Each structure stands twice: as structure tokens, then as C-alpha cells.
């Protein structure tokens, strides 16, 4: 499968979701900015994929990253570039954009069987969790963060 074909608009994803539900396949969802993909991201994505049959990754649009106020100049990479890198990973089955600060609207439509988030989150802090069959919090790979990586690159340790 061509990795670009894994990047899907919401309408197509919802059609695929119905097919997967009919086939009895468990859909796992996770989301993030994924601005500079690093080993910590990959470990979370692999752990997420292990929770079901298919992994859908919601990626913040450029405008929603700016709303998150992560740091000036973010995102570093444009949405399409971030989506293509994620789609190239074998553990990822589909990538979809969302333009809000949280994936609540997207998850209300997708209704995944499992939502996975990294260990820096708690279920009570996830308003979208009510749309997943269950929420799984996975441990993070220590010492990995995009913000930390950017600071190191800028010599600001």
C-alpha cells in the first residue's frame, strides 16, 4: 500500500470505519501534533497499534497547532509533511486531520474501540474519551519530546 493512500479525508475514514466495524476489526485511535517524529512517538504508536487491529492517527492541522500555543514558530513541519511521515510507518493504518484543540469532534464521529494516549495524560483530562470504547494510557519513552529536541537543536539545553 502506498503510504499516501493512508492519508484520508474524514468522509472516507468514516466509510472505512463502517467497513471495519462490519468486519469485526477493533479500531484504535491516537492523536497529536507529531511535529518532528522521534523514537518516543514511534514507541507510543507501536503500543497503540498493539491495542487492536487498526490504528488511526489524528493529526492537528497547522492552525490548530498554533491554537495549542506549543511554542512560537510551531509547527515546524506542515500538516501534509507530518501526515506523510506518519503514514509511512507500518503500525499506522490511516491518518486524518483535525482542526480543533482536542479530537473530541473527530472521535464523536469515528467512535473508536480504543483511544490511546501517552503517559503524560490522565483519562479525566480527555474530554473526547467518552467516545471511545476504552482508554489506554501507555508509558512514554523517557527523555523524548519535540520541544526538548528543538531546544537542543537551538543550543538551549
What would the pLDDT profile of 88-140 be if each residue is shown by its tens digit? Answer: 999 999 999 999 989 999 999 999 999 999 878 888 889 999 999 999 999 87
**Spatial CA neighbour of 97 closest among 20, 38, 31:** 31
Cα separation, 25 vs 112, whole angstroms: 10
What's 145's DSSP letter? -
Q: What is the DSSP string of 45-105?
A: HHHHHTTSSEEEEEEE-HHHHHHHT-STT--SS-HHHHHHHHHTSTT--EEEEE-SSSSHH
What's 141's DSSP letter? -
Per-residue model confidence (pLDDT) at position 156:
66
Cα separation, 115 vs 117, whole angstroms: 7
Number of folded domains in the chain?
1
Q: What is the pTM of this model?
A: 0.90
42 contacts: CB under 8 Å, gap ≥ 6:
89, 91
Domain assignment of residue 51, given as a range = 3-153
Cα separation, 39 vs 128, whole angstroms: 26
Across the range 15-27, mean pLDDT stands at: 98
Place of cell 513541519: 77
Find the CATH number of the domain harbouring 18.
3.40.50.620
Residue 148 pLDDT more than 90?
no
Task: Give the count of beta carbons closer than 10 Å to the beta carbon of residue 130.
Answer: 11
Per-residue model confidence (pLDDT) at position 143:
60
- Please report which confidence band the pLDDT of residue 68 belongs to, taking 50, 70 and 90 as the band edges: confident
Amino acid at each position: 500500500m502506498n503510504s499516501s493512500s493512508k492519508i484520508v479525508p474524514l468522509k472516507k475514514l468514516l466509510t472505512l470505519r463502517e467497513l471495519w466495524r462490519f468486519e469485526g476489526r477493533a479500531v484504535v485511535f491516537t492523536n497529536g501534533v507529531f511535529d518532528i517524529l522521534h523514537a518516543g512517538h514511534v514507541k507510543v504508536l507501536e503500543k497503540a497499534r498493539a491495542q487492536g487491529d487498526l490504528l488511526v492517527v489524528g493529526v492537528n492541522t497547522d492552525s490548530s497547532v498554533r491554537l495549542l500555543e506549543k511554542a512560537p514558530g510551531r509547527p515546524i513541519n506542515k500538516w501534509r509533511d507530518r501526515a506523510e511521515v506518519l503514514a509511512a510507518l507500518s503500525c499506522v493504518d490511516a491518518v486524518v486531520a483535525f482542526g480543533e484543540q482536542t479530537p473530541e469532534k473527530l472521535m464523536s464521529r469515528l467512535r473508536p474501540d480504543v483511544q490511546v494516549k501517552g503517559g503524560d495524560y490522565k483519562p479525566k483530562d480527555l474530554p473526547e474519551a467518552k467516545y471511545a470504547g476504552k482508554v489506554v494510557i501507555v508509558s512514554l519513552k523517557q527523555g523524548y519530546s519535540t520541544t526538548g529536541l528543538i531546544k537542543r537543536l537551538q543550543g538551549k539545553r
